[in-house]
Amino acid sequence: TSQDVVAVTRRLVGAGLLATIDFLGEDTTDRAQADAVVVAYLDLLTKLREAGLSPPAEVSIKVSALGLHLRDGPQLALENAELIARAARMAGTAVTLDMEDHTTTDSTLEILRTLRKEYPSTGAVLQAYLYRTESDCRDLADAGSRVRLCKGAYAEPESVAFQDRHEIDKS
């Protein structure tokens, strides 16, 4: 629950750590599910603000959880991300867009570019195992840009991603 998340976040922040919180879920299959994800984030952000836990705690969102794959998906996901980014700003914290499988990378980065016009502190996660990531890092290397690099967690084809753990580590 949001209350559980706030309690854990309070302990982490009390120990001098920062936190990013993700309401787990992706590949939303209907509008009601996407709406529920947004409501969960808005509730969480309100509770974090009330508990005085922002900015050391921020939220991470997956655009497919916001409706990316639904009819009018890219626009719906953007609108939902804007709602969350506005609530995060009001709470005194930021949003990071989590990266998903390679089929969503372009859409995620397009939503990021649009969000950053109004919410420049919006961060992005990039996955080191994708061949394109070095170029994406260069594209995002603006003053104040926040990028979190991870190895990657999806089973991606060799046509788009390194398969060897050593190559992923180097990347």
Catalytic pick among 43, 49, 98, 164: 98
Task: Report the SS3 class of residue 170.
Answer: helix
- Asked if residue 25 has pLDDT above 90, the reply is no
pLDDT band, very low/low/confident/very high, at 27 (cuts 50, 70, 90): confident
- How far, in Å, CA of 90 to CA of 104, rounded? 28
Catalytic pick among 132, 148, 164, 165: 148
Is 165 in the active site? no
Is 98 in the active site? yes
pLDDT band, very low/low/confident/very high, at 129 (cuts 50, 70, 90): very high
For 107-120, the three-class secondary structure string (H helix, E strand, C coil) is HHHHHHHHHHHHCC
